[in-house]
Amino acid sequence: MPVAASAIYFLNLRGDVLINRLYRDDVGGNMVDAFRMHIMQTKELGTCPVRQIGGCSFFYMRISNVYIVIVVSSNANVACAFKFVVEAVALFKSYFGGAFDEDAIRNNFVLIYELLDEIMDFGYPQNLSPEILKLYITQEGVRSPFSSKPTDKPVPNATLQVTGAVGWRREGLAYKKNEVFLDIVESVNLLMSSKGSVLRCDVTGKILMKCFLSGMPDLKLGLNDKIGLEKESEIKSRPTKSGKTIELDDVTFHQCVNLTRFNSEKTVSFVPPDGEFELMKYRITEGVNLPFRVLPTIKELGRTRMEVNVKVKSVFGAKMFALGVVVKIPVPKQTAKTSLQVTSGRAKYNASMDCLVWKIRKFPGQTESTLSAEVELISTIAEKKSWTRPPIQMEFQVPMFTSSGLRVRFLKVWEKSGYNTVEWVRYITKAGSYEIRC
C-alpha cells in the first residue's frame, strides 16, 4: 500500500512553519523551503493542490489562514493523504472547540504534537475518530471564547474500544424502548425519447438507519438481491422461493458492516452506531420499474402558434400514490400568451424558466392525467431560428415504492440480554434526473 505522508507541515499565510512532524527519513527537514520558494512565492497556490518539485510530491490544502502541506518522496496515495488532512482538521476542531486557525495552533502546540503521533505511524494513517482518541488523550485544548462548550460523555472500557473492532459505538447505552428505523431511499434517473422508448435509465439508492438500541447488539439484514438469495439457497440446500431478485451494482458499506461475513454469507451483518447513519449505497442498471410514463405531443402551427399535449401515466400500484408531482414542459422564449387545461392539478406559464409548470399534489397509481395548452408566440421580423426543444423534466416522491424492486426480507436484532425490539421499514422513490425528450 502506498504511503500517505513522509512529513506534514502547518504554515501560515506568510510561509512561516507553525508546526511540523517527520514520519519517514526519505525527505529532509528543509523540504518546506522548496514549497515556499516554488509555489508560495510564485503565487501558484490556487492552480493545483498537487505539485512535484524535484523528487518529492507536495499535497497542500488551505484551512482558514493555515496551509497544511504533506510531503512524500515515493509513490503515494493522494486520495488517502487528502482524506487524512480533512479528518485530522475535524479532529483538531473537536479538541479546540470548533476553531482551527493560526492562533489555535499556537495555543495548542503540545496537544497537536501528541495527536500527530497517534493519528499517523510511519506514513500510514491510524485511528482519527475524536470519540476514541478522547478516551486516552484527555488533555483539553485551549478553546476559543466563541466556541461551544464541550459535551463530554463518559465512555467505559476505553481499552476495548481502542483495540477492538467496534470503534463507532460506545458501551453502556440503555434505552427504555429499543427501536430500529430503516429507510430505503432511491433516486431514479431516466432519459426517454418522445416516442416512449427508454434511452438511459438507472437507480441510485441508499439505506438509512436510525438505531436506539441498548448494549452492543448484532444486526443482520437480508435483502432480495440475487447473490444473497443464491448463497442462502446453497447454505440451506433448498431452492429459493419464487419472487423478484435484483442485482446490486457499485455497493459501498458503512465501516460497521462485517465484510468478511458479507463475502462468505452475502448477508449484511453489523454492530450499528448509535443514532442515525447511512448503512450502504448501491446502484441498479437493469430491471428498473419506472414510476411514470410521459407521452408528449408538441405541434408548431406556423410562426406564432403551438399546441402542447402531455399525458402522464402512473405505473405503480393502484393503492399507492405520488406526492409533490411537478412536470416542467419547455416552451420557446418568445412565448406571449398561453391557454392551459389540465385534468388534475394546476398549471401555469413561468416566463423566467421558459416552461409550463404543472403541479399535482397527489397522483394516485394506475391513473392518467393530461395537460393541453395553446401557446401564442411573438411574431418577429428576423428570420426565425429553429427551436431546439429541451426535454420535459419531472419531480416526484412515491412512498412505499422502489424502482429497483429492492425489499427487506428480514431484519434481525440479537443482544445478549435478549430484549425485544421494534423494527420500522419505509421505502421511498424520488426523481433524480427524470427527463423526456419532446
DSSP string covering 21-53, please? Answer: EE--TTS-TTHHHHHIIIIITTT-TTT-SEEEE
pLDDT in tens, 155-200: 444 444 444 446 788 888 999 999 999 999 999 999 999 888 899 9
pLDDT value at position 244?
A: 63
Mean pLDDT in residue range 57-62: 91
The model's confidence at residue 382, banded by pLDDT at 50, 70 and 90, is low
Q: Return d(Cα 266, Cα 256) in angstroms, integer.
A: 15
Q: What is the mean pLDDT of the chain?
A: 86
At residue 232, the pLDDT reads 55
pLDDT digits (tens, 9 = 90+) for 98-120: 889 999 999 998 999 999 999 99
Spatial separation of the C-alpha atoms in residues 220 and 224, rounded to whole Å: 14
Q: What is the pLDDT of residue 158?
A: 47
The Cα–Cα gap between 59 and 78 comes to 8
pLDDT for the residue 159: 43
How far apart CA 16 and CA 351 sit, in angstroms, is 55
- Residue 241: pLDDT over 70: no
Assigned C-alpha cell, 246: 435484483
Please check whether residue 134 is in contact with residue 89, taking contact to mean a CB–CB distance below 8 angstroms: no
pLDDT at 152 over 60: no
Band of residue 300 on the pLDDT scale cut at 50, 70, 90: confident
pLDDT at 70: 93
From 167, 190, 150, 176, select the one nearest 254 (Cα to Cα). 167
What pLDDT does residue 235 have? 47
* 33 has a pLDDT exceeding 90: no
Q: Which residues contact 223 (CB under 8 A, 6 or more apart)?
A: 248, 268, 406, 407, 408, 409
Element (H, E) at 63: strand 56-63
Confidence (pLDDT) at 151 = 45
Cα 361 from Cα 364, distance rounded (Å): 10
Percentage of the chain exceeding pLDDT 90: 57
- The rounded distance, in Å, linking the Cα atoms of 267 and 257 is 10
How does DSSP assign 180-217, residue by residue?
Answer: EEEEEEEEEEEEE-TTS-EEEEEEEEEEEEEEE--SS-
For residue 149, is pLDDT > 50?
Answer: no
Query: Are residues 280 and 184 in contact, defined by beta-carbon separation less than 8 angstroms?
Result: no
pLDDT in tens, 1-23: 567 788 999 999 888 999 999 99
pLDDT band at 242 (very low <50, low <70, confident <90, very high): very low
pLDDT digits (tens, 9 = 90+) for 194-238: 888 899 999 999 999 999 999 999 999 999 886 655 555 554 544
Percent of the chain with pLDDT over 70: 88
| pLDDT number for residue 87 | 92
Cβ 422 vs Cβ 377: under 8 Å: no
Q: Where are the beta strands (DSSP E) in 305-418?
A: 305-314, 321-330, 335-342, 346-350, 355-364, 368-377, 392-399, 408-414
CB atoms within 10 A of CB 127: 15
Q: Rounded to a whole number, what is the largest CA-CA distance in the chain? A: 83
Tell the burial category of 318 from Cβ atoms under 10 Å away from its Cβ (0-12, 13-18, 19+).
exposed
**Cα–Cα distance measured from residue 167 to residue 127, given in angstroms and rounded to the nearest whole number:** 9
Q: How many residues does the structure list for the chain?
A: 438
pLDDT at 48: 84
Average pLDDT over residues 133-156: 62
CA distance 253 to 168: 14
Can you state the angle between helices 109-119 and 78-96, rounded to 10 degrees? 140
